[in-house]
Chain A
Amino acid sequence: MDDRTTLRRKLLHYLMGTSVGATLVAIFYPILKFMIPPPTSEATQNSVVAGKVTDLVPNSGKIFKFGNKPGLLIRTASGEFKAFSAVCTHLDCIVQYRPDMKIIWCACHNGQYNLSGQNIAGPPPRPLTQYTVNLRGDDIIVTKG
């Protein structure tokens, strides 16, 4: 083979390789993108009615829906209302109020938070996000931030 033929062959190989490559990219790019789920819309609401004052006796807690995430509403032994994100900062489990220990407890890995949401024992690395609680008549209003 002379040089020109070799060159021509190289060019053909290059063109074929790139067009095959481009075709494969055009096929697999949509497939990969399809497999990644679209982001679920964050709760646009900034506040929510978490329950009624009469729902909770002192020293008890309940889970409420804040958009699509769970929140934890607590009535302390002294009768004060507090609200936190109920998602454990360790591995995403849902926490609960322990009336016997008067703490917030995560059953998955025995994570513990005090009533200010501070991580006090166990694996959780960060405190729970605290929400503002307001009362409007009988309704307990929980607000972000």
Chain B
Amino acid sequence: MSTETLRAWLDERIGLQYLIELARKKDVPLHRHTIWYYFGGMTLFLFVVQVVTGILLLLYYRPSAENAFESVQFIMTDVEFGWLIRSIHSWSANLMIATLMIHMFSAYFLKAYRRPRELTWMSGVLLLGLALAFGFSGYLLPWNKLAFFATKVGTDIAGDLPVIGPFLLRFLRGGDDVTGATLTRFFGFHVAILPALTTFVLALHLLLVQKHGMSVPPSLTSHNLPRMKFFPNFFLRDLIGWILAVGVLAALAALFPWQLGEKADPFAPAPAGIKPEWYFLFMFQTLKLLPGRILFIEGEVIGILAFVIGGIVWLLVPFLDRPEENSRRTRWFTFAGIVLVIYIATMTIVGYLS
């Protein structure tokens, strides 16, 4: 069969011509903020790395309190390139959350959430929540000491919420304590429930991005901007970024292989200086700084509620900052975003150093 007939055959069945038109339509505006357009694709690439390495790890991982630690040890020591696959999975998870944060804050500061992209923004915030849930549930799976206590603390924080807290705690732990049942449960979240939800929300997010095209920052809309074809020009640039990411991942995995630590022991005290992963550190540090009691309520509960409300406000940003209204409000949102970034950065550094 010649290429032409194959093409015609496919076109008749899947509308190849339509897809080609779609790819041809897309272009990327070129201006001084163009650099920020790379981070969404980079996050997507790192997500694909997570899917591939995650599926590979599934071939050897055993999700039970008796076997989990040993199976990860087996992966790290016996399986060919096991150390590489596991280290890349861990490193890529961290890099993915980092690029996701950059992508999100750049979208925030360039006001990319504005009409008609409200749902794009909201699906993005949901994806952040899912990524954090992936990080939290995946952290327990090697069943080492740090993971065990991190999960105890993390689920306990959820349990502090008023009204739904006790239910949430039992739901997350699969009982009153962190046990093998928790591990099995987190495994289920990590490899089945979260991937299913993520597939759906990610598809929506990408679909909306295709539909609306690239957002142009409001400060630039008046100019007649030059544009670059997405296929193949900008895509090739994306590819260079992805190859760099593969290099960085391989270097990190080789030079700083992810440690396994000691097997969890439910009857041993928590190790000194225990801390969550960096992306939870600013919340951890905030809770540490709050006094035991504020008026009649526990300080911790106030802090947790503040984070929940903060998350909801963040989700609803497109409806709060509307361009039709005066620009003072818009400037206020930019200012609040800067304060937020400084706050997160400061708390993370303080938490890291303390």
Which residues of A come within 8 Å of B, CB atoms?
Answer: 23, 26-27, 30-31, 33-38
**In-complex Cβ contact of B56 among A23, A26, A31, A38 (8 A):** A31
From DSSP, what is the main secondary structure of chain B's interface residues? Answer: helix
Q: Are A30 and B246 in contact (CB under 8 A)?
A: no
When distances are taken between beta carbons in the complex, the residues of chain B under 8 Å from A23 are 243, 246
Q: Judge if B51 is at the interface, Cβ distance under 8 Å.
A: no
Give the complex CA separation of A31 and B54 in angstroms. 12
Q: Is the CB of B78 within 8 A of A38?
A: yes
Q: Taking the nearest CB of chain A, how far is it from the CB of B118, in angstroms?
A: 38
14 contacts between A and B (CB under 8 A): A26-B250, A27-B246, A30-B80, A30-B85, A31-B81, A31-B85, A33-B80, A34-B59, A34-B81, A34-B84, A35-B56, A36-B80, A38-B78, A38-B80
Report the nearest A residue to B52, measured CB to CB: A31
Q: Are B246 and A34 in contact (CB under 8 A)?
A: no
CB closest chain-A residue, reference B49: A27
Q: Decide if B82 is an interface residue (CB 8 Å cutoff).
A: yes
User: In the complex, what residues of A have CB within 8 A of residue B250's CB?
Assistant: 26
Q: Check if B78 sits within 8 Å of A34, measured CB to CB.
A: no
* Cα-based distance from A30 to B52 in the complex (angstroms): 12
Q: Which of B58-79 contact A (CB under 8 A)?
A: 59-60, 78-79
When distances are taken between beta carbons in the complex, the residues of chain B under 8 Å from A36 are: 80
Q: B243 contacts A34, CB within 8 Å?
A: no
Tell me the bound Cα distance from A33 to B84 in angstroms.
Answer: 11
Contact of B79 among A26, A27, A38 (CB under 8 A): A38
Q: Across the A-B interface, how many residue pairs have beta carbons closer than 8 Å? A: 31
Question: Are B59 and A35 in touch, CB under 8 angstroms?
Answer: yes
Contact with A along B78-95 (1 / 0, CB 8 A): 111110110000000000
What is the chain B residue whose CB lies nearest that of A41?
B78
In the assembled complex, the CB of A145 is this many whole angstroms from the nearest CB of chain B, namely 28
Assembled-state Cα–Cα distance A36/B79 (Å)? 8
CB contacts (< 8 Å) of B80 on chain A: these are 30, 33-34, 36, 38
Q: In whole Å, how far is B342's beta carbon from the nearest beta carbon of chain A?
A: 38
Nearest-neighbor residue (CB-CB) of A34 within chain B:
B81
Give the one of A26, A27, A31, A36 with max B CB within 10 A. Answer: A31
Q: Are A34 and B82 also in contact (CB < 8 A) when A23-B243, A23-B246, A27-B246 are?
A: yes
Contacts of B78 in A (CB 8 A): 38
> Which listed residue, B59, B60, B84, B243, touches A30 by the CB 8 Å rule?
B84
Given A35-B56, A35-B59, A30:B81 Cβ within 8 A? yes
Contacts of B59 in A (CB 8 A): 34-35, 37
A33 to B82, CA, bound (A): 9
A30 to B243, CA, bound (A): 16
Set of chain B residues within 8 Å of A35, measured between Cβ atoms: 56, 59
Chain B's closest residue to A33 (CB) is B80
The complex places the Cα of A9 from the Cα of B243 at a distance, in Å, of 22
* In the complex, chain B residues 210-248 whose Cβ is within 8 Å of any chain A Cβ: 243, 246
Given that A30-B84, A31-B52 are known contacts, is A37 also in contact with B79, CB under 8 Å in the complex? yes
Chain A residues lying within 8 Å of B52, measured Cβ to Cβ, are: 31
What 6 pairs between A and B have smallest CB-CB spacing?
A30-B81, A33-B80, A38-B78, A34-B81, A34-B85, A33-B81
